[in-house]
Amino acid sequence: MYQKYYSQFLQAPSGAPSSMLHMACHSHHYWPDVTLDAVQQYWHDAAQLADDKWGPIFEQKIPAWQAAVARTLALPQPDRIALAPNTHELVCRLLSAFDPGRPLRILTTDGEFYSFARQLQRLEELDNVEVTRIAKEPYATLAERFEQELHRNDYQLAYASLVFFDSGVVFPQLLEIAACKPARTEFVIDGYHAFFARPLDLGPVADTVFFTAGSYKYLGAGEGLCFMSIPKDCNLRPLNTGWFAEMAELEDRADRVGFSDNWLRFAGATMDYSTLYKGLAVFGLFEREGITVDRIHDHVLAAQRRFLETMDAAGHPLLNRQNLLHHDLENGHGHFFTFDCGTAEKSEMLQKALKSRAVLCDRRQRLLRLGFAIYHGESETYRQVFA
């Protein structure tokens, strides 16, 4: 039903087998066909309007994109959604707002994506930075352990993924924990594996937490456009600040560094906006066709059930229930399954074997990840994976 929107990829023009099964979608979703026209439109606007392109981009395109993101996540104020090419830039900008001369205590988990985990390791080398990592497992007690620690100590920043990148497990009750955070603690939810995959209502936390995600994965608009929603009355003054943060005052610049009370507080500098055009095209397509996140999620849940049925009957030595990382598959899981293959060699061999059967997936050392997308057919049984 949804495959018709992705014909450029699924018809495999490059000579790949037509039965190719793209299960690396949790990393990079294929782009709907409408993104091709969007890129061409960007080329025309950028080339023809030259410097005058910034007017339409800042006055029309960015607000339209922010409004679409806000509708998706039930965020009340679209102009509090900051844009940057990746989430690392936004998170670094936030980190730079803490006074380097004072202690910076950070609470997080041991399951964060490399982008943040590496940055944190480097920051930890500074004398004033102290990091507490709560073990993500066992998932059944994660919420309780994280919340207790959040209130036990004086943390300036708490940071956690809503869906863990290495397992697909949803952090149980993370939104509830964030809603009751101490006022002194800034709270960041890394929502990359949740955005445009799982239905989300951020309304209850929108005024108090930061939420990051981007276009590369489930939205299917490609790399180059990420966002961070900002709490209400945020008065942080990032040390890392670019000239776009002053977009509104360029003609009459003040001598001091001022910050707007909207997303521009966390703005950086010149970037390529082709993904903004692609993202708007995807939002437009889905809106016209009535494709909502609820429908996408239902489609994926049904696909995951069919996969599990096939798997349970297959008796595969590695792809089986024992090796599947999970906590609550029906209600608390993302749009991919992770299998612990025991060693990196075994997972690499399995990935190669799957590729030879035209099943594309990815792996992180010994963990093999298989993702589900709306461009998988409604009657797909995933037998090809277990053949």
Contact residues: ligand PLP, CB under 6 A: 86-88, 113, 115, 161, 165, 190, 192-193, 214, 226
- Residue number with CB closer to ligand PLP (190 or 340): 190
Q: How far is the CB of 112 from ligand PLP (least distance, A)?
A: 7
Compute CA 77 distance to the chain's CA centroid, rounded to the nearest angstrom. Answer: 20
- Residue number with CB closer to ligand PLP (45 or 190): 190
Instruction: Tell me if 70 sits within 8 A of 227, measured CB to CB.
Output: no
- Residue number with CB closer to ligand PLP (90 or 129): 90
Q: What are phi and psi of 361, to 5 degrees?
A: -145, -175
Taken as a whole, the chain contains a residue count of 387
Q: What are phi and psi of 13, to 5 degrees?
A: -65, -20
Q: How far is the CB of 168 from ligand PLP (least distance, A)?
A: 10
Q: How far is the CB of 365 from ligand PLP (least distance, A)?
A: 15
Neighbours of 64 (CB within 10 A): 16
Q: How far is the CB of 127 from ligand PLP (least distance, A)?
A: 26
Compute CA 375 distance to the chain's CA centroid, rounded to the nearest angstrom. Answer: 19
Q: How far apart are the first and last CA of the chain?
A: 25
Q: How far is the CB of 295 from ligand PLP (least distance, A)?
A: 23
- Residue number with CB closer to ligand PLP (53 or 88): 88
Q: How far is the CB of 140 from ligand PLP (least distance, A)?
A: 21
Give the Cα separation of 149 and 147 in Å (integer). 5
- Residue number with CB closer to ligand PLP (115 or 338): 115
* Per-position b or e across 145-182, b if 16+ CB within 10 A of its CB: ebbeebeeeebbbbbbbbbbbbbbbbbbebbebbeebe
Long-range contacts of range 50-58, CB-CB < 8 Å, 24 or more positions apart?
57/273, 57/276, 58/247
- Residue number with CB closer to ligand PLP (70 or 226): 226
- Residue number with CB closer to ligand PLP (160 or 291): 160
- Residue number with CB closer to ligand PLP (193 or 198): 193
- Residue number with CB closer to ligand PLP (129 or 160): 160
Give the Cα separation of 21 and 43 in Å (integer). 32
Q: Is 362 helix (H, G, I), strand (E, B) or coil?
A: strand
Q: How far is the CB of 371 from ligand PLP (least distance, A)?
A: 12
Residue closest to 263 by CA, chosen among 300, 291, 238, 289:
238
Report the C-alpha dihedral over residues 6, 166, 228, 242, rounded to 10 degrees: -100
Residue type, 289: E
Q: Is 80 helix (H, G, I), strand (E, B) or coil?
A: helix
- Residue number with CB closer to ligand PLP (137 or 246): 137
Q: How far is the CB of 165 from ligand PLP (least distance, A)?
A: 4
Tokens read off for 243: 């000239």
* Per-position b or e across 295-328, b if 16+ CB within 10 A of its CB: bbbebbbebbebbeebbeeeeeebbeeebbbebe
Give the Cα separation of 17 and 12 in Å (integer). 7
Q: How far is the CB of 223 from ligand PLP (least distance, A)?
A: 8
Q: How far is the CB of 154 from ligand PLP (least distance, A)?
A: 26
